[in-house]
Structure 1
């Protein structure tokens, strides 16, 4: 009993010490970063076969654990959301609220400097809003585009997307209203036309 209490005391003491010395730990790590990385690399090389052997013995157990984690992740996502589609695009699941999930249950996608979100599919970057539209509404006809109704380029909810011609896309009333307000006195009426003019000047 005494040993158990002592063990608990040491654990608590160490936990409190770590909490109070986070900055110290960080500085110590940075000071010894190269040395620690070298030690880690050396250990991996020396124990490569042991690790491989251990993994082979426990492979099924690990697979089961990973599967459970993935299922729990997916369940927690789906509990909050509705309409979704599974696709054959790298095992992606697409949800109408603009979320795209990979086969591991993780949300995927990244935002570029132009404000649009992209998803990597088979090593290609695809615009997320086009991916979501085509998943639920079918292929985008030639000569037509997908417009963000509220002009927020990374708001990819299906209800915020609409199929338009290039001309309609350039004249989204909300886009014009927003940029007229933010560019008073600059002679900017249509931000998309302005972008093209700016690009021509740069080129």
Structure 2
């Protein structure tokens, strides 16, 4: 298993916005327990985990335990930050053995930030840095529910290639779901905004 990457943020990007919300900088950084209040804003948002395996958090104590026990020890889990305040998350889960050349991308964003290009910027930042931090990685994958059109658009705009539909591939909240496989290869080029 790969060692945790350095505890630095991963850059800022050009300004984006839709006229209602102006974003001066987006960066990725490790979360810690001091982020609990901003974490709880999006972790309790019932819209955020609709296509995720987790349910909205219901208590601050559960949030603290999750950050302490799952987020901090994870090899690559970052907050998606606007002006250094976490509004979502992005993670890369490494594989091992014969599959160690692949990592799986996952992300979530507070619903009030949807449709503003923030997730696309975050995914581009990951694709721009993960292959440098984990040189053994050749392929970054993302599985997306066929009904999650917004996430499909994020990955396409970030330069991921749609590879195909995996029928009855994943159990999500008790239902067997079709998933779409997206990939980004270490040789793919990335253009940050």
Please state which band the TM-score falls in when normalised by the shorter chain.
under 0.3
Q: Which has the larger radius of gyration?
A: 1
Q: TM-score normalized by structure 1?
A: 0.26
Which structure's residues are more often helix, by fraction? 1
Which structure's residues are more often strand, by fraction? 2
